[in-house]
């Protein structure tokens, strides 16, 4: 499939506009570090929310989501709990407020705010910077794998290269070119460029989602869908086993289910809930999501930004995902049958675009999906250099350099991080393998230390350091020891290794200075096991009001997870014509919206 001249013109025109915008705002962005990485904390929360939603609407993730819906049907709505997607609910309800109250520039700088600036605090500061950089490498490889597969199907030029030691497939060449363009405009414009372009990208993507949903709704009937899928595909709920048998429909899908390791969905969901509670309570990892929270003007607006992200992201995105999945099921299955066992399910999305989207709209949609990729990638490239420049170079090497020097080193850090991350992209096996490793193994090493930092006063910088070290070692070496076991089932093992490091590092070293703990507790106001600090603070300041909202926060989290799930399943039910289930999901959406308005929105600070 190849794009028409009109579609190529629309796509390239958008890319050119994006680059020019990055250069246009570069003067404003390069004023100082606060402006470059956080937009001077002057960007409106609703712009940041739209930007955050656009940043989560990446090509690789969308291809993966279309694939799992094609393969697993409505039950695929549970599989994104691998991340877990409802970590956004925890951020919305209380973590964004706690995080934004610190007033810091990066997640690593926040660690110093929590543990102080002595040896333990500095060790914890360094290790979270290392984690941030490693996670960025993983995500760059993830983006590289997705954008290459996507672009090569559309663009008419063969960019494969065979020049001695330099050998590139056309997929790899397209990925390198698009990543280079994205890196360029992000480096020049900083957070202003990221947010400005992502708001435009979100508008384009929303229009594209509606177009795809309309085409699917008017092109596919309920009977056609039922004839194309096995029994159980249209059911959201499940037993212990997935019980999807594609024999007689598209038998190679059975092989995909076996390879994914998602057949025992009951055990999978238990593992995802266990992992999800720890990963969500740990808070956002030090990447673009955390930078959006820190960029908001106030703590209350940080919470609103996180809520808006989910509201505007899930329904339009899943309208597109469901649209492409049902179109592919009904009309592309014969082509997949001819491929036999060589089907690359991660190309379902681009193949469906080529077959079903008319000229003109193809260019708009491709521009939107490229925009989504560029937005997500740009967000990482804006966030990651802050850890190298602000948290390493400025803090430990040259604290008195000029703002221009720091910005210049930020440019260099961006180029370096992208270059190293791309090396991993060349060796990545698939989008799914990268997704599972990042969400399960890598985050397994992050969870224990970052849960304890919020809720336990005695937890110190040494405990954080050794917990993170143990987690990173576990995430690196445990999965290769069990190559036939999905990383989600190895999460408890990695978590226990990390937790042992946390407890030993804490118990064998002194507690943090009480002044540091009081400063953190007074400003952040977390709930949890803070009794000695709370009592010491109240003895000096009886007017201080501790956080007593644990019960309300837990209630809002449960309501928020149901609310989020309705936004996922409503477009699916709409496009497969399950009107009764759609009505129930919509009623739940209205009820949970009202509950969140009363018990969350109306109780926000400021």
Report the alpha-carbon distance of residue 106 to residue 30 in Å, rounded.
17
Query: pLDDT tens, 482-523?
Result: 877 777 778 888 889 999 999 999 999 999 999 999 999 999
More confident residue, 53 or 378: 53
- Tell me the pTM: 0.81
Cα 105–chain centre separation: 20
At residue 480, the pLDDT reads 77
Q: What pLDDT digit, counting tens, does each position of 70-89 carry?
A: 889 899 898 888 777 888 89
209 pLDDT above the threshold of 60: yes
Token reading at 496: 């226990």
For position 533, what pLDDT does the model report? 94
pLDDT confidence band for 439 (50 / 70 / 90): low
Statement: residue 414 has pLDDT above 90: no
3-state secondary structure string, 226-284?
Answer: HHHCCCCCCCCCCCCCCCCCCCCCCCHHHHHHHHHCCCCHHHHHHHHHHHHHHHHHCCC
For CA atoms 25, 27, 29, 30, give the dihedral sign.
positive
| Residue 271: Cβ within 10 Å count | 20
- In sequence order, the 6+-apart residues with CB closer than 8 A to the CB of 84 are 272, 275, 276, 279, 280, 439
pLDDT band, residue 443 (cuts 50/70/90):
low
pLDDT beyond 70 at 145: no
Query: 188 or 359, which is more confident?
Result: 359
Q: State mean pLDDT over 344-360.
A: 75
Which of 6-10, 283-287, 308-312 is the most confident on average? 308-312
Among 97-111, 276-290, 373-387, 426-440, the least confident range: 426-440
Mean pLDDT of 592-601: 96
Write out the two tokens for 513.
């200075």
- pLDDT at residue 140, rounded to an integer: 72
Q: Which of 47-56, 136-145, 500-509 has the lowest mean pLDDT?
A: 136-145
Residue bearing the bigger pLDDT, 99 or 46: 99
CA dihedral 216, 218, 219, 222 (to 10 degrees): 90
Position 154 scores a pLDDT of 67
Q: Is 167 exposed, middle or buried (0-12, 13-18, 19+ CB in 10 A)?
A: exposed
Report residue 86: phi and psi, to 5°: -80, 10
pLDDT recorded at residue 592:
97
State percent of the chain over pLDDT 90: 24
The answer to whether the Cα torsion of 284, 544, 115, 117 is positive or negative is positive
Confidence of residue 32 (pLDDT cuts 50, 70, 90): very low
Average pLDDT in the 239-253 region? 82
What six digits make up the tokens of 184?
A: 């360029």
Specify the higher pLDDT residue, 92 or 12: 92
What single string gives the DSSP state of each residue in 356-408? HSPTTHHHHHHHHHHHHHHHHHHHHHHHHHHHHIIIIIIIII-TT--HHHHHH
pLDDT at 560 over 60: yes
Token pair 């937009």: residue: 39
pLDDT tops 90 at residue 596: yes
187-201, 329-343, 526-540: range with lowest mean pLDDT: 187-201
* Contact predicate 288/376, CB 8 Å: yes
- Domains annotated for the chain, with CATH where assigned, are 5-428+545-603 (1.20.1730)
**DSSP 8-class letter at 161:** E
Cβ burial, residue 331 (10 Å; 0-12/13-18/19+) = middle
**DSSP 3-state assignment of 318?**
helix
Cβ density class 227-257: b for 16+ within 10 Å, e for less? ebbbebbbebebeeebebebeebbeebbebb
Phi, psi of 9 (to 5 degrees): -60, -45
Helix runs in 332-360, H state only: 333-339, 348-356
Tens of pLDDT, residue by residue over 160-193, are: 777 666 667 777 787 777 777 777 656 554 555 5
Residue 561 banded pLDDT, cuts 50, 70, 90? very high
Average pLDDT, the chain: 79
State the maximum Cα–Cα separation within the chain, in Å, rounded to a whole number.
Answer: 76
Instruction: Read off the pLDDT of residues 218-236 as tens digits, 9 standing for 90 and up.
Output: 989 999 999 888 898 999 8
Q: Which of 79, 151, 112 lies closest to 572 in space, CA to CA?
A: 79
Tokens 């919206």 found at: 593
């Amino acid at each position: 499939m190849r794009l028409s001249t009109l579609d190529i013109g629309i796509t390239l025109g958008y890319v050119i506009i994006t680059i020019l915008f990055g250069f246009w705002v570069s003067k404003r962005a390069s004023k100082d570090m606060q402006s470059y990485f956080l937009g001077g904390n002057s960007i409106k929360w609703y712009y940041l929310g739209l930007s955050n939603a656009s940043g989560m609407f990446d090509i690789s993730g969308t291809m993966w989501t279309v694939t799992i819906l094609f393969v697993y049907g409505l039950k695929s709505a549970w599989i994104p709990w691998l991340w877990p997607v409802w970590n956004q609910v925890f951020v919305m309800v209380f973590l964004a407020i706690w995080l934004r109250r610190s007033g810091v520039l990066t997640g690593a700088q926040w660690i110093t705010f929590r543990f102080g600036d002595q040896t333990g605090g500095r060790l914890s500061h360094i290790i979270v910077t290392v984690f941030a950089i490693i996670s960025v490498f993983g995500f760059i490889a993830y983006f590289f794998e997705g954008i290459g597969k996507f672009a090569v199907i559309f663009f008419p030029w063969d960019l494969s290269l065979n020049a001695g030691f330099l050998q590139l497939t056309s997929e790899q060449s397209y990925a390198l070119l698009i990543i280079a363009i994205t890196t360029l405009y992000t480096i020049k414009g900083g957070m202003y460029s990221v947010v400005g372009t992502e708001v435009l990208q979100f508008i384009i993507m929303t229009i594209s989602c509606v177009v795809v949903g309309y085409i699917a709704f008017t092109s596919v009937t309920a009977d056609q869908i039922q004839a194309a899928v096995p029994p159980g595909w249209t059911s959201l709920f499940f037993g212990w086993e997935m019980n999807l048998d594609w024999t007689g429909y598209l038998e190679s899908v059975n092989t995909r289910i076996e390879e994914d390791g998602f057949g025992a969905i009951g055990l999978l969901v238990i593992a995802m809930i266990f992992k999800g509670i720890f990963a969500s309570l740990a808070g956002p990892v030090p990447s673009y999501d955390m930078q959006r929270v820190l960029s908001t003007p106030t703590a209350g607006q940080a919470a609103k930004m996180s809520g808006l992200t989910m509201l505007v992201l899930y329904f339009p995105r899943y309208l597109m995902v469901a649209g492409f999945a049902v179109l592919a099921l009904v009309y592309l299955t014969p082509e997949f049958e001819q491929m036999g066992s060589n089907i690359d399910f991660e190309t379902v999305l681009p193949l469906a675009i080529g077959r079903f989207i008319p000229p003109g709209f193809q260019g708009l949609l491709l521009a939107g999906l490229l925009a989504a990729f560029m937005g997500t990638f740009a967000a990482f490239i804006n966030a990651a250099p802050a850890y190298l420049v602000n948290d390493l170079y400025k803090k430990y090497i040259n604290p008195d350099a000029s703002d221009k020097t720091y910005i210049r080193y930020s440019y260099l850090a961006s180029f370096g991080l992208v270059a190293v991350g791309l090396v991993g992209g060349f060796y990545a096996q698939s989008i799914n393998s990268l997704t599972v490793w990042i969400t399960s193994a890598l985050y397994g090493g992050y969870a224990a230390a970052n849960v304890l930092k919020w809720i336990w006063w005695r937890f110190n910088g040494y405990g954080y350091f050794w917990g993170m070290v143990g987690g990173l070692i576990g995430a690196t070496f445990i999965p290769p020891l069990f190559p036939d076991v999905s990383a989600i089932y190895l999460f408890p093992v990695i978590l226990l290794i990390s937790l042992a490091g946390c407890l030993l590092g804490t118990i064998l070293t002194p507690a943090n200075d009480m002044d540091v703990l009081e400063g953190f507790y007074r400003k952040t106001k977390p709930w949890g096991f803070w009794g000695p600090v709370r009592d010491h603070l109240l003895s000096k300041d009886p007017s201080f009001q501790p956080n007593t909202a644990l019960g309300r926060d837990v209630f809002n989290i449960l309501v928020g997870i149901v609310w989020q799930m309705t936004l996922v399943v409503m477009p699916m039910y709409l496009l497969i014509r399950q009107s009764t289930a759609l009505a129930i999901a919509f009623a739940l959406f209205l009820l949970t919206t009202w509950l969140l308005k009363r018990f969350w929105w109306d109780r926000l600070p400021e």
